[in-house]
């Protein structure tokens, strides 16, 4: 009551309240919810918020009587508390609201817990989602000055010096690490490709590199393949000499004894307690966010991978939503998730069939991201995978054979360079590796001159005469 009264009586207080109370639900009494909703609406419309404008807005909505009529609203502005305590009043409202949400979630859990028809895991996901939303709603962090942020930014640069430029989660591929500094926290990365290009294999390879090689807890949300099948594919990458198919069919000359041999070779995978796989089908973004938040809180997960975006379900069913708005909601949610949890989120994405109808090399482009252009907008980085071998194309444009290789095409990179890079790829085993490429010639790389205490960039070296001759058209 005091908060509403203060807003109506003191114009300068509105922004303080709006920065703390983002929803009308924080008010318990319905008429106060209606009044605050009117205030929020007027503010969004850039209309002055005072007694008469609030009354007029409520009249227009037909809710003036429900909100207590003009006299009641006028009385609010006469019963002011101490304006100096406004922020404390808002915090009290927030705390009481948090208690109500927790109590409601508890009741819901109890009800559903007794209901035999409910999937208990679904109940847990719903409760987790409610609590995560509550936590997000209560998080009203203020802006931070650039000066206050500088020490932590310098710290991360110092750390990067020790890690040879790596500031994120290592990708497992040197050239990709060089281009990105690793998968960056808060980044939403989309890896797109047509079926058969090795999307899931790439996802598993990057997950394995993070979790098994670099010991960074990693979570995979697999809506396409069951968890057991993913583990089988991981097994193929760990144990030399067996493809996915060999392992799936179980046709070993050595029988069970050979399986024991495979088990002994897969000890690293056996110890991978920090690689979490969730194969719940058709998760929506809220369920996924809730599960991811729990994994980050409980296990310190530092990388989240999703296979794949278009298999997630939307929350607009029955509300006139279409698939495009669903995908827009999902991609926006993935970016928000990366930012909120401060981890990289990598999601695979299907591409439209127009890639196949395209002539030439059938290389994907940003417009091929299926069902929504918002994926392209929301993603911090878009990487397309392409294997010439799949289309019977034997060589890249520069003559490099495509056999056992995969092309990573960085088509969007917020704050970074675009580019193409080729890696070794044995798709049957899901193995990816660096080719024997060398980094840029020393003269082309910037270096720190200790004497002048300056970073020096000499520029591109002139091409050799041999290269010039090769470029001649005859």
Partner 1 sequence: MEAYSPEMAQWVAKVLRKASPKEFDNWRKYYEQRGGPGLELVKAELQARQQVNV
CB of residue 415 vs partner 1: minimum separation in angstroms?
35
Min separation Cβ 91 and partner 1, Å: 24
Residue in this structure with the two tokens 């920090």, named with its chain if needed: 274
Task: Between 51 and 92, name the residue whose CB sits nearer to partner 1.
Answer: 51
What angle (nearest 5°) sits at the alpha carbon of residue 306, between those of residues 191 and 322?
A: 90
72: contact with partner 1 by CB under 8 A: no
Nearer to partner 1, 2 or 331 (CB): 2
Pairing of strands 218-222, 381-386: unpaired
SS3 content of the chain, % helix, strand, coil (to 5): 50, 15, 35
What is the spatial distance between Cα 419 and Cα 429, in angstroms, rounded to a whole number?
26
Exposure string for 189-227, b = 16+ CB within 10 A, e = fewer: bbbbbbeebbbbbbbbbbbbbbbbebebbbbbbbbbbee
Residue choice 18, 22, 33, 50 for contact with partner 1 (CB under 8 A) = 50
SS (H, E, C) 327-365: HHHHHHHHHHHHHHHCCCEEEEECECCHHHHCCCCCCCC
436 Cβ partners below 8 Å, 6+ apart? none
Q: How far is the CB of 4 from partner 1 (least distance, A)?
A: 14
Kindly state the smallest distance separating residue 74's Cβ from partner 1, in Å: 8
The nearer residue to partner 1, 14 or 431, going by C-beta atoms, is 14
C-alpha pair distances (Å), 358 with each of 22, 141, 393, 449: 48, 48, 14, 49
Whichever of 81 and 321 has its CB closer to partner 1, that residue is: 81
Piece of the chain touching partner 1 by CB under 8 A; list 48-56, 97-105, 225-233, 343-351: 48-56
| Of residues 49 and 341, the one with the C-beta less far from partner 1 | 49
Of the listed pieces 42-50, 124-132, 332-340, 389-397, which binds partner 1 according to CB under 8 A? 42-50
Whole-number minimum distance, CB 77 to partner 1, in Å?
Answer: 7
Smallest distance from the beta carbon of 23 to partner 1, in angstroms? 23
Tell me how far apart the alpha carbons of residues 226 and 194 are, in angstroms, rounded to a whole number: 20
d(CA 84, CA 204) in angstroms, rounded, equals 56
Q: How many helices (H) and strands (E) does the chain have?
A: 19, 11
Query: 400's torsion region: left (phi>0), alpha (psi -120 to 50) or beta?
Result: beta
Using CB under 8 A, pick the residue from 16, 22, 63, 77 that binds partner 1: 77
Partners of residue 369 on adjacent β-strands:
351
Binds partner 1 (CB under 8 A): choice among 24, 51, 98, 134: 51
Among the candidate windows 40-48, 192-200, 283-291, 298-306, which touches partner 1 by CB under 8 A? 40-48
Q: By C-beta, is 45 or 215 nearer to partner 1?
A: 45
Q: Is residue 56 a contact residue for partner 1 (CB under 8 A)?
A: yes
- Residue numbers 7-36 binding partner 1 by CB under 8 A: 8-11
Is residue 404 involved in binding partner 1 (CB under 8 A)? Answer: no
**Length of the chain measured in residues:** 474
Handedness of CA 418, 423, 426, 432 (dihedral sign): negative
Single out the segment in contact with partner 1 by CB under 8 A; choices: 46-54, 99-107, 274-282, 315-323: 46-54
Q: Per rule CB under 8 A, is residue 52 in the interface with partner 1?
A: yes
Residue 45 contacts partner 1 per CB under 8 A: yes
Which residues here bind partner 1, judged by CB under 8 A? 8-11, 45-53, 56, 74, 77
């Amino acid at each position: 009551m005091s908060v509403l009264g203060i807003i109506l009586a003191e114009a300068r207080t509105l922004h303080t309240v709006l920065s703390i109370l983002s929803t009308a639900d924080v008010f318990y009494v319905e008429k106060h919810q209606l009044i605050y909703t009117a205030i929020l609406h007027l503010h969004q419309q850039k209309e002055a918020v005072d007694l008469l404008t609030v009354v007029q807005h409520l009249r227009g909505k037909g809710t003036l009587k429900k909100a207590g009529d003009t006299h009641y609203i006028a009385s609010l502005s006469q019963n002011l508390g101490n304006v100096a305590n406004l922020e404390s009043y808002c915090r009290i409202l927030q705390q009481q609201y948090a208690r109500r949400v927790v109590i409601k979630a508890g009741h819901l859990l109890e009800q559903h817990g007794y209901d035999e028809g409910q999937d208990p895991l679904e109940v847990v996901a719903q409760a987790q989602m409610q609590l995560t939303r509550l936590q997000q709603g209560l998080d009203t962090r203020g802006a931070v000055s650039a000066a206050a942020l500088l020490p932590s930014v310098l710290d991360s640069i110092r750390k990067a010096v020790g890690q040879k430029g790596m500031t994120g989660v290592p990708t497992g591929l040197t050239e990709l690490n060089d281009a990105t500094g690793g998968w960056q926290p808060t980044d939403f990365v989309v890896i797109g490709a047509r079926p058969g290009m090795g999307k899931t294999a790439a996802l598993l390879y990057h997950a394995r590199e993070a979790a098994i090689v670099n010991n960074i807890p990693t979570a995979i949300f697999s809506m396409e393949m069951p968890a057991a099948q993913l583990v089988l594919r991981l097994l193929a990458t760990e144990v030399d000499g067996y493809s996915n198919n060999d392992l799936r069919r179980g046709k070993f000359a050595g029988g069970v004894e050979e399986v024991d041999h495979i088990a002994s070779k897969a000890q690293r995978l056996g110890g991978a307690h920090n690689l979490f796989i969730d194969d719940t089908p058709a998760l929506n973004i809220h369920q996924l966010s809730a599960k991811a938040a729990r994994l980050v809180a409980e296990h310190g997960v530092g990388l989240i991978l999703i296979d794949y975006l278009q298999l997630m379900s939307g929350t607009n069913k029955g509300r006139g939503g279409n698939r495009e708005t669903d995908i827009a909601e999902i991609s926006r949610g993935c970016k928000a998730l990366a930012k909120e949890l401060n981890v990289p989120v990598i999601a695979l994405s299907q591409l439209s069939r127009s890639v196949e109808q395209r002539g030439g090399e059938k290389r994907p482009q940003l417009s091929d991201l299926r069902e929504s252009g918002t994926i392209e907008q929301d993603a911090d980085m878009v990487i397309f995978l392409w294997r010439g071998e799949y289309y019977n194309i034997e060589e890249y444009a520069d003559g490099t054979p495509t056999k056992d290789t995969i092309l990573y095409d960085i088509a969007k990179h917020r704050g970074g360079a675009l580019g193409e890079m080729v890696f070794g790829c044995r798709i049957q085993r899901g193995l990816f590796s660096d080719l024997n490429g060398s980094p840029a010639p020393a003269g082309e790389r910037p270096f720190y001159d200790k004497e002048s205490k300056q970073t020096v960039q000499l520029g591109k070296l002139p091409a050799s005469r041999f290269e010039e001759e090769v470029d001649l058209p005859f």
